[in-house]
Amino acid sequence: MTADLQYSHPLDLHPFLLATDEHEEERSCQEDRQQAVVIMAEVEETLKRIQTHKGVIGTIVVNAEGIPIRTTLDNSTTVQYAGLLHQLTMKARSTVRDIDPQNDLTFLRIRSKKHEIMVAPDKEFLLIIIQNPNE
């Protein structure tokens, strides 16, 4: 009678902790990071094109909750602009849709004595640009 014995490693029960699978996960994280870098560079480039246009004083990107996520102005001014314009954009949008439910707000421009504020709205973001047209 022969006895069959298998050499069994205790960690055989947990295959995914072995070294080979670890490397795969790290590789995918690195790819993600590289891709994020690429996307971020494109975002910055677009914002830079807008910011360096003639007469532009400042650019702010606001998310759906009214919190600024990108800005070229100082902190207190940014927070002020973001809060006020977020509310105004919501009001403008509801005005347009109340008049005609099939219509929607595409762009908002406010002209004042000293400069012009432009707001490009979206479902998730808001782009605010302040330009001095007299320059």
Return all residues near 86 (Cβ < 8 A) that are at least 6 apart.
62, 66, 126
Task: Report the alpha-carbon distance of residue 93 to residue 74 in Å, rounded.
Answer: 28
Q: Which of 2, 4, 12, 17 binds another protein (CB under 8 A)?
A: 17
Task: Report the alpha-carbon distance of residue 125 to residue 115 in Å, rounded.
Answer: 23
Task: Report the alpha-carbon distance of residue 98 to residue 53 in Å, rounded.
Answer: 35
Q: Does 133 help bind another protein (rule: CB under 8 A)?
A: yes
Token readout for 121 is: 């709205």
- Contact mark string toward another protein, 28..67, x via CB under 8 A: -x--xx-xxx-xxxxxx-xxxxxx-xxxx--x-x-x---x
Q: Which of 4, 68, 89, 102 binds another protein (CB under 8 A)?
A: 68
Burial class (CB in 10 A: 0-12, 13-18, 19+), 19: exposed
Kindly tell me which of 24 and 98 has the beta carbon lying closer to another protein.
24
Kindly tell me which of 103 and 125 has the beta carbon lying closer to another protein.
125
Which residues between 84 and 123 bind another protein (CB under 8 A)? Answer: 106-107, 109, 111, 113-114, 116, 118, 120, 122
CB 105 within 8 A of CB 96: yes
* Chain contacts with another protein (rule: CB under 8 A): 3, 5, 7, 9-11, 17-19, 22, 25-26, 29, 32-33, 35-37, 39-44, 46-51, 53-56, 59, 61, 63, 67-72, 78, 106-107, 109, 111, 113-114, 116, 118, 120, 122, 124-125, 127, 129, 131, 133-135
